[in-house]
Chain A
């Protein structure tokens, strides 16, 4: 590895430019320009469309701080992000472990495909199929009542759990994939060494495997937490009235209220908060590992 470093530093950046440029040009055009426009909008009183009057203002940012609703919703969204991330760890990590350390050959490929499948299905289709499962008289309700001797009433539709279920379903593959990659890189002889030294399987898991798979857990958590905090589709469709989160409010500003400047300002506040959280959390998690 030391050799690779040496070669990389000797060559410098110049020969790498032709390789880097396409990606960065694309990012500049596709993300940086529209985003800059949004930054610009967020400081305006109104959209400069159809000859409307507009001026620069900080009111959009001030709105966040003057109305407690936004802060409440932001905290609710952060909690949602945290809960979904935790469930993804709880569900995804064991699956990744089994995929990386227990299964071999064809059965591994088959199970892997099942994990990736949600990625290949359309997001809206996924969410509406959950709606069919979760609502009263839906698939889950009917199935449970057909099996159980007593009558129960399952109506998870338009509830917080429904939002969690939908989001976890959408995002758990990220956790499985990132953890699978780090777990697979852990040499089996490390596990054997731990056990030969008298550690139980549980002790080996906590002291060797989890610390060594921390990079995968962190990467997975970041990939899940950030989009979930800003999510709006699952909360709106599966959460109904209870599904009002920070993300849905931003969406409203763009598609319903047409207050783009406020929507943009709320987005950038979210971006800032998420960046601060990641900046604080990642070194802490890294140290734990």
Chain B
């Protein structure tokens, strides 16, 4: 088991800069998600860590040992592929045994280890099957067993749940997390699904156009995004753009929005504020001004989407449509076209420097 350090890694394919000076420190035993839209470089980064491709510049270390020029088969990593990549010519047990048998381990100990790995993923009885006789979720488990049976230093997962349907995906998320805790392996997990990244990982790295946008625990990135991209890619956010005032921003129409967190910016600099839709209160009349709802705006409900446990209101205000999510508490529902007042606390507002 080991941590992974990625330092100043860049990689270009022709004129396309797939990774641009990326540095991340993956601590030993952590569960990391690399999150980003397609083409953001997250899979390229995973392939650099795996060793399928080498960086143009920069350093990659596994367990403190520089590996950026070490081929994949010598890196002692385990990898689960998006399409599982099970060997169709081998039984489930032989698939799992592959990594041990290419090392020339004795047959008897291989059989025992394979059984232990299959038991861990709860497929102990299916060792004799062929991959094509398994369901998607079972194949996923076999791929996982095959990747961890060799006791790799790092487990790399390339959108491993992408091919599963929703219900199975949630099961596998829990299962993957359980197995990861049980063996305590450093896990790096590529996904474009923000919910998956939020629920599963200890830390998230958000990539965009080959650059690391922000890295940190899910709560930190969600509560204190450092860019408009991070704010809108991980979860939903209302973005206000204006000029910095010292403790918030002033919108073009003169309204000020106070923000309790974010960088200190020179007054007058271009800046934005981000507010999560569930932090905004919506009411028909003016609320009593106090610290919890110091930011107020007037608007008009343009649309309401009812989703059972909550409702999403789209509120038009000065050419901008804001999103507000209200828990279903049994309170009166607002009609479309109704004038409303939105209010929220400066604590719920994050100041973001214009990027």
Contacts and interface: CB of A to CB of B under 8 A. Distances in A.
Tell me if chain B binds chain A.
yes
B88 A212 contact: yes
Contacts of B77: 196
B231 to A, nearest CB: 34
A208 B73 CA distance: 15
Contacts of A197: 73, 78, 98-99, 102, 146-147, 150
A289 B90 CA distance: 10
A193 B87 contact: yes
A203 interface: yes
A192 B102 contact: no
Interface of A: 187, 189-190, 192-201, 203, 207-208, 211-212, 289
Given A196-B52, A203-B102, A207-B98, 15 more contacts: A189-B81, A189-B83, A189-B85, A192-B81, A193-B86, A193-B87, A195-B72, A195-B73, A196-B78, A197-B73, A197-B99, A197-B146, A207-B102, A212-B87, A289-B89
Interface of B: 50, 52, 71-74, 76-79, 81-83, 85-89, 98-99, 102-103, 146-147, 150, 156
A191 B52 CA distance: 11
B85 A193 contact: yes
A195 B71 CA distance: 9
A194 B50 contact: no
A185 to B, nearest CB: 10
Contact of B102 (A199, A211, A289): A199
Contact of A196 (B72, B86, B87, B88): B72
A211 B89 CA distance: 7
Given A196-B77, A197-B98, A203-B102, A190 B85 contact: yes
Of residues A190, A198, A203, A289, which shows the largest number of chain B Cβ atoms within 10 Å of its Cβ? A198
B93 to A, nearest CB: 14
Contacts of A192: 52, 72, 79, 81, 85
A183 to B, nearest CB: 14
Contact of B50 (A190, A196, A211): A196
Contacts of A198: 73-74, 76, 99, 102-103, 150
Nearest to A191: B85
A253 B156 CA distance: 68
A195 B85 CA distance: 12
A223 to B, nearest CB: 22
A198 B85 CA distance: 15
A195 B53 CA distance: 12
Contacts of B103: 198
Contacts of B82: 189
Contacts of B99: 197-199
Contact of A208 (B83, B89, B156): B89
Contact of A193 (B71, B81, B150): B81
Contacts of B89: 208, 211-212, 289
A201 B81 CA distance: 18
A195 B81 CA distance: 12
30 contacts: A192-B72, A192-B81, A193-B79, A193-B87, A194-B102, A195-B71, A195-B73, A196-B50, A196-B52, A196-B72, A196-B73, A196-B78, A197-B73, A197-B78, A197-B102, A198-B73, A198-B74, A198-B103, A199-B98, A199-B99, A199-B102, A200-B73, A207-B98, A207-B102, A208-B87, A208-B89, A211-B89, A212-B87, A212-B88, A212-B89
A174 to B, nearest CB: 23
A222 B146 CA distance: 36
A198 B72 CA distance: 7
A184 B78 CA distance: 25
Contacts of B87: 190, 193-194, 208, 212
Nearest to B77: A196
Nearest to A201: B73
Contacts of B79: 192-193, 196
Contacts of A196: 50, 52, 72-73, 77-79, 147, 156
Nearest to A197: B99
Contacts of A203: 102
B49 to A, nearest CB: 11
Contacts of B81: 189, 192-193
Contacts of A207: 98, 102
B52 A194 contact: no
Contacts of B102: 194, 197-200, 203, 207
Contacts of A194: 87, 98, 102
Contacts of A211: 89
Contacts of A201: 73
A192 B156 CA distance: 13
A200 to B, nearest CB: 6
A192 B146 CA distance: 13
Contacts of B76: 198
Contacts of B83: 187, 189
A215 B281 CA distance: 67
Nearest to B81: A189
- Most interface-central of B72, B76, B78, B82 (chain A CB within 10 A): B72
Given A192-B81, A193-B79, A207-B98, A199 B73 contact: yes
A122 B147 CA distance: 53
Interface centre among A197, A200, A211 (most CB of B within 10 A): A197
Nearest to B97: A197
A197 B52 CA distance: 12
A63 B238 CA distance: 96
Contacts of B50: 196
A197 B86 CA distance: 12
Contacts of A212: 87-89
A194 to B, nearest CB: 7
